[in-house]
Amino acid sequence: MFNTKPIRKVAIIGTGVIGASWAAQFLAKGLDVVATDVAPDAEASLRRFVKAAWPALERLGLAPGASQSRLTFCRDLAAAVAGAHLVQENGPERLDFKQQLYKQLDELLHPDVIIASSSSGIKMSDIQSGAALHPERCVIGHPFNPPHLIPLVEVVGGTRTSEQTIQRAIAFYKSIGKKAIRLNKEMPGHVANRLQAALAREVYYLVAEDVLSAADVDDALSWGPGLRWGIMGNMLLNHLAGGAGGIEHAMHQLGGPMAAWWKTLGSPDMTPEFQRKLVDSVHAEVGARSIEALAAERDELLIGLIELRRRSEAVDPHKVAAT
């Protein structure tokens, strides 16, 4: 029977960059959050992150009851997950680690509790082999960094994940304002990271081949297609590119030239020399700017874009329906 019990308490396993950002997101949506991590300074680091993220979350809108005081930290795994309705796992990207962790969680948790992994590329079919009792409640819920700002969550089950778990996970993520998409098939790296990887391959190739610098390729992306991608995806933009003829005309006119370009795309090897060239070009672009300053610039622009898109959706019912 499909479990419709609301998810009000979330356990966070792993409080690094992704886990801490998830914690901030869940707290902003009025949920109770219990976090656990074995790192010595994990609790202090987590609370600093949440405090720093809170002004942005306030600007985007807090849910009734949202409070940083609803965050609890517990080093003991069993105590941390006790009473949780969903577990968001953010452990190291190692299959052996995740399989052992899922074995522990499977034995600790009630069968109704969803175990969602933030894994950026490992297939759930491989992870859930560690959960012999109830593999059907294990699912990928992969966010995009930083999760407290970027709405995307990729949801995909493994071969033994139940349809009920997938639907419940999607409903939960949507209920907290995420743009949850369902992947019908498992793919290494899921979808968004594969798209990034395809683009990164050509970016790295162009820089390494001295076609242009890291600064110029970043400008080419962020001031060209990147501006459009912040509004619409590739397929809708292709539809617009066809003018009155739409996607049909775009495929007829642009399909051939694009296929010809594909044949010239680079396939670079990640040799130490290749990586050093990329690193040096990036540092030349960064200059004296700190990681913190760059992240602050990114977040401010992200918030502005999210606010703009929200206003657009508020006046366009077709966009709301599409979500």
Q: At what angle do helices 272-286 and 192-208 cross, to 10 degrees?
A: 90
What is the architecture, at CATH level 2, of domain 192-287?
Answer: Orthogonal Bundle (1.10)
pLDDT value at position 323?
41
57 is written with which tokens? Answer: 């979350």
- The answer to whether 70 touches 32, Cβ cutoff 8 Å, is yes
295 is written with which tokens? Answer: 């992240």
Write the pLDDT tens digit of every residue in 24-49: 999 999 999 999 999 999 999 999 99
Write the pLDDT tens digit of every residue in 276-300: 999 999 999 999 999 999 999 999 9
pLDDT value at position 317?
58
pLDDT value at position 321?
46
Domain ranges of the chain: 9-182, 192-287
Residue in 224, 204, 233 with CA at minimum distance from that of residue 319: 233
DSSP 8-state secondary structure symbol assigned to residue 163: H
Q: Which residues is 139 bridged to in the sheet?
A: 116, 157
What is the architecture, at CATH level 2, of domain 9-182?
Answer: 3-Layer(aba) Sandwich (3.40)
Distance CA 222, CA 269 (A): 25
Distance CA 263, CA 261 (A): 5
Write the pLDDT tens digit of every residue in 173-214: 999 999 999 999 999 999 999 999 999 999 999 999 999 999
Q: Which residues of the chain have pLDDT under 70?
A: 1-3, 316-323
pLDDT value at position 2?
52
255 is written with which tokens? Answer: 């399909």
User: How do beta strands 71-73 and 86-89 pair?
Assistant: unpaired
